[in-house]
């Protein structure tokens, strides 16, 4: 499926969502914001048919260079804030997506592009990828989750250094700091993300969604509250067909056929 500067390829239970405006390093314009939102709506409408999303950028040069500054040049304050509101909504849609999202960072992920990567559940990156939160060099600051998601990934002190300097860092550094999960050879990052996506998609979709929910919200709670949240999520599995199918398949020594029910 083709949207404005966005492509969506659904191959069985795994969807590849790709930002595609290589002329501006896949920078996020108003058109791309609309395309990403429409694509997420399509995925949502498919329910349990889509069990994992791989988010990437077109080409090898850039994942996403952030907001399209050429489009923003000369914007009034009101127009800027109106556009940023759309960006905020898109970011919240990714963070709140019940389906696991794997970031496949193929190239530069700068400013809003880095923030978008940080919204993914976990990240694979090409060894040649680079990251930066450059907003303070432009008279603004991260406003799409960067000041919240980066400290949760790399720690408060490291995040302050990254954000307050605006200095780029390598994929190897991001891996060392715990921001990304895997370094991939150039040209291999989407393939490796898809392999993991298919592994996730083989599992019970209700279980995967509930586990993601419990982890995401549990780490924001004290331990006792997090344990209560976990049990609430766990109990959602007990009356499902998939729970009965999983146990039956184990005892019958066959691969389970999960249906998301």
The CA distance from 127 to 143, in Å, is 27
Name the catalytic one among 60, 115, 195, 252: 115
The CA distance from 226 to 217, in Å, is 8
Q: Which residue has the tokens 């490291």?
A: 158
The CA distance from 86 to 142, in Å, is 15
115 is catalytic: yes
| Closest to 19 (Cα-Cα) out of 11, 10, 43, 8 | 8
Residue 102 contacts by C-beta under 8 Å, 6 or more apart in sequence?
A: 52, 53, 54, 55, 120, 121, 122, 123, 124, 193, 196, 197
176 is catalytic: no
Residue 8 contacts by C-beta under 8 Å, 6 or more apart in sequence?
A: 1, 2, 15, 16, 17, 18, 39, 42, 43
Tokens of 244: 């009965």
Tokens of 213: 């929910």
Name the catalytic one among 127, 135, 156, 241: 135
The secondary structure element, H or E, covering residue 183 is strand 182-184
Residues annotated catalytic, as ranges: 115, 135
């Amino acid at each position: 499926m083709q949207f404005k500067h966005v492509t969506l390829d659904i191959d069985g239970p795994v969807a590849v969502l790709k930002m595609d405006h290589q002329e501006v390093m896949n920078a996020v314009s108003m058109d791309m914001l609309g395309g990403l939102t429409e694509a997420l709506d399509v995925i949502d409408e498919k329910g349990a048919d889509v069990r994992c999303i791989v988010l990437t950028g077109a080409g090898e040069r850039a994942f996403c260079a952030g907001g399209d500054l050429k489009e923003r040049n000369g914007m009034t304050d009101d127009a800027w804030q109106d556009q940023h509101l759309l960006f905020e909504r898109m970011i919240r849609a990714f963070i709140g997506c019940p389906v696991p999202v794997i970031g496949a960072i193929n190239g530069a992920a700068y400013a809003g592009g880095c923030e978008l990567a940080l919204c993914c559940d976990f990240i694979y990156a090409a060894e040649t990828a680079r990251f930066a939160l450059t907003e303070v060099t432009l008279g603004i600051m991260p406003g799409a989750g960067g000041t919240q998601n980066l400290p949760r990934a790399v720690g408060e002190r490291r995040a302050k250094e990254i954000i307050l300097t605006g200095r780029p860092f390598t994929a190897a550094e991001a891996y060392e700091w715990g921001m990304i999960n895997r370094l991939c050879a150039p040209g291999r990052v989407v393939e490796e993300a898809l392999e993991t996506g298919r592994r996730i998609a083989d599992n019970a979709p209700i279980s995967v969604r509930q586990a993601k929910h419990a982890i995401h919200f549990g780490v924001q709670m004290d331990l006792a509250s997090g344990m209560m949240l976990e049990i609430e999520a766990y109990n959602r599995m007990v009356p499902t067909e998939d729970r009965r199918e999983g146990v039956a398949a184990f005892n019958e020594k066959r691969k389970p056929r999960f249906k998301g029910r």
